[in-house]
Amino acid sequence: MPYAAGPDAPEGWRDSPRILHGQVTIYDGTLMASDYPPGVAGEAQAGFSVMQSAPDVAEARRVFDALAEAGSIIDGFKPTFFSPGFGMVKDRFGTHWIISAQQE
């Protein structure tokens, strides 16, 4: 939901493309986020990553590839000593993600 669609949106918010409420359901969890309000300056997302564990390698790879589309790969998807499939990516919105498959 953009700020402009909020009930009783102040005048300065009515033409804003910024997001008031975004929600993603991932497996049995929910991740919610929002942009800074219109007129408020903020730094681009930096200094943190969102980590998502997938139930298997195929699903982890699917999620990684979807996030990498129009984004950039930080650490390519591959097996590691702690995960059969692991990768790091920055999505098209600038959010850093760590995707890891659970051990089988």
51-96 pLDDT per residue, tens: 999 999 999 999 999 999 999 999 999 999 999 999 999 999 889 9
Question: What pLDDT was estimated at residue 91?
Answer: 94
The predicted-structure confidence for 19-51, as pLDDT tens digits, reads as follows 888 998 888 888 888 888 888 887 777 778 899
Question: What pLDDT was estimated at residue 7?
Answer: 85
Residue among 37, 36, 54 nearest 97 (CA): 54
Q: What CATH code is assigned to 45-104?
A: 3.10.180.10
Two tokens, residue 19: 């997001």
Question: What pLDDT was estimated at residue 33?
Answer: 85
pTM of this prediction? 0.74
Question: What pLDDT was estimated at residue 10?
Answer: 86
- Contacts (Cβ under 8 Å, ≥6 apart) of 62: none
CA atoms within 13 A on the CB side of 13: 18
Question: What pLDDT was estimated at residue 81?
Answer: 94
Residue 104 clears pLDDT 80, i.e. is over it: no
The label of the residue with tokens 């102040």 reads 10
Question: What pLDDT was estimated at residue 8?
Answer: 85
Q: Where does the chain hold its CATH 3.10.180.10 domain(s)?
A: 45-104
Output b/e per residue, 27-51; b: 16+ Cβ within 10 A. Answer: eeeeeeeebeebeeeeeeeeeeebe
d(CA 84, CA 69): 22
CA atoms within 13 A on the CB side of 22: 10
